[in-house]
Amino acid sequence: MRAISGLWRWRRNPLCRATDLAEAWVALAALVLILLAAPMAGSLVGGAAQDALQRSVREQHEARHLVTATVVRKLDRSPLDADPETSTGRDLRTRVLADWTAPDGTAQHGPVLAGLKDPQQGDEFRIWTDGHGRMVARPLDSATASTHAVLAGVGAALAAGGLIEGGRRLIVWRMVRRRYARWDQAWDKAGPDWGRTGTGS
């Protein structure tokens, strides 16, 4: 509203230069674009991300299966993780040799990470596999997918607003440079005779 009232006030002001009015119009146009285009861009990107991510969630839940694995024996720690001081939350899982049956009925055997504190032979735990029994990551859940979509939409809206503001600043910068160039030309014409009696006569 201040930009609009400022434009109205400048409209008939005798001190208003054409460049002042142009800058005010550029600012108003940028404000309108930020208020309209940025949320629309965020909504479109967020909606597209939501559709793609929810489709991915459905595909992952169809392709990935939770099966029960049985501990055969505990394995030594990986030589890459030899320092217990550098362990992360992921390292709270223990490497074990385990047996499990794939969703297609085939028997599988191999090293896996088990969420057991002190695994013993015969202990059971759950793992995610594909249809052939190969280990896969846990499928994405719907709530996490929605969170990612919202973040994508917010990011797109902020990026659009930033681009619009950057464009406005670039336009105003060029206008100011042109104004200074015109002042330099006017000063070059008037400069040599500045202050002399009878200048311009």
SS3 category, 67: strand
pLDDT tens digits, 48-67: 999 999 999 999 999 999 99
pLDDT per position as a tens digit, 77-113? 655 554 444 444 445 678 888 889 888 888 988 888 8
The model carries a pTM of 0.65
Query: Token match 């991915």: residue?
Result: 56
Nearest-angstrom CA–CA distance, 100 and 125: 10
Q: Residue 180: in which H helix or E strand, if any? A: helix 142-190
Handedness of CA 43, 45, 46, 50 (dihedral sign): positive
User: With a cut of 50, which residues of the chain have pLDDT below it?
Assistant: 82-90, 201
User: Is the Cβ–Cβ distance between 128 and 137 less than 8 Å?
Assistant: yes
The C-alpha atoms of residue 15 and residue 146 are separated, in whole angstroms, by 54
